[in-house]
A = this chain, B = another copy of it.
Amino acid sequence: MVTLAEVAQHAGVSASTVSYVLSGKRSISATTRQRVEQSIRELGYHPNAGARALAGKRSNIIALMIPLRTDMYVPVMMEIAIAVATTARTHGYDVLLLTGEEGPDAVRRVTGSGLADAMILMDVELEDERLPLLRETDQPSVLIGLPADSTGLTCVDLDWSATGALCVEHLAGLGHRDIAVIGEAPAVYERHTGFAERTLDGLRARARRAGVGVLHRPCEGGYDALALTLARIFDERPGTTGFVVQNESAVEPLLALLRQQGRAVPEDVSVVAICPDQVAVQASVRLTSVAIPAQEMGRRAVEHLVAKLDGRGGDEVVLLAPELTVRASSGPAPAAS
């Protein structure tokens, strides 16, 4: 293992000089810098992370807390995680992966041990039990998601309420009067996940204003579950002509079942999905959809965190504006029969 002292000796300078060449925290003459850099390369030197963390009081690690639930759409989480990791690297940070398993204890452990300088939390619930801890700590943190009370916290999220409203607006504008919402699995609502409830709120509020009816049904993924849900919906509201789907594993089953029932999309019923663009494009009918900007959420979260770590920027709620892309699954409501 090569140490800073060895580099210093090899370059014929003092340890601190090498340290300063590395950190850039004071000016170094060009020749010295070059000699040091040369030695670093020749010896294959890498600063020891532990020593750095101890002496410098910062680990250059960001903790990322990912839920280990399986009822969420996994690719989105993964995309966020990867965006976090790559963005963090561009700022000189590594990412420590924490699963939800340890719960709030993980927060204590990480902040207490100095393992990480800051943390990013995903899958935030409206009344998340980790929030009090975050408010106490002086460690910077960013939530990806929006809790009920965001006082003293920094949050990055898609504006789900606006997303819901946008879907209704699109359908109402096309003349649809009865809209069914196929939602996430019941468990998601039961634990009051922020995005799910907010979407619903935005949807309902906008529907009220537009004078259209909304029927919301949570749904486990898969064909069988959806067949049941769909039957109930048409049973209760036979006049339903518009669907909003916020559940990736219900998208394809919905299209297949509608087809099977002889309901043409978009002639008889329109479908608007809330999902990543890739899902919308790859579906059997190219879906009109509001995209979930996973990458941008991950990137923004890191950038806010780094800003905080650098003493710039404070608490703030960043809501990304939803964008609806019209594709082949939505069209004018059929004339009333």
Contact = CB atoms under 8 A, between A and B. Distances in A.
A74 interface: yes
Interface in A96-151: 96-99, 101-102, 108-109, 112-115
Interface in A36-55: 44-54
Contacts of A95: 96-97
A97 B64 contact: yes
A264 interface: no
A98 B85 CA distance: 7
A257 B250 CA distance: 18
A175 interface: no
A249 to B, nearest CB: 6
Copy tally for this chain in the complex stands at 2
A221 interface: yes
Most buried by B among A49, A89, A256: A49
A50 B48 CA distance: 10
A184 to B, nearest CB: 15
Nearest to A115: B49
A99 B97 CA distance: 12
Nearest to A46: B112
Interface of A: 1-2, 44-54, 59, 61, 64, 66, 68, 74-75, 77-79, 81-82, 85-86, 89, 94-99, 101-102, 108-109, 112-115, 221-223, 249, 252-253, 256, 281-284
Given A1-B114, A50-B114, A85-B97, 16 more contacts: A46-B108, A46-B113, A47-B113, A48-B54, A48-B113, A48-B114, A50-B59, A61-B96, A74-B75, A77-B78, A81-B97, A85-B99, A86-B99, A96-B96, A252-B252, A256-B256
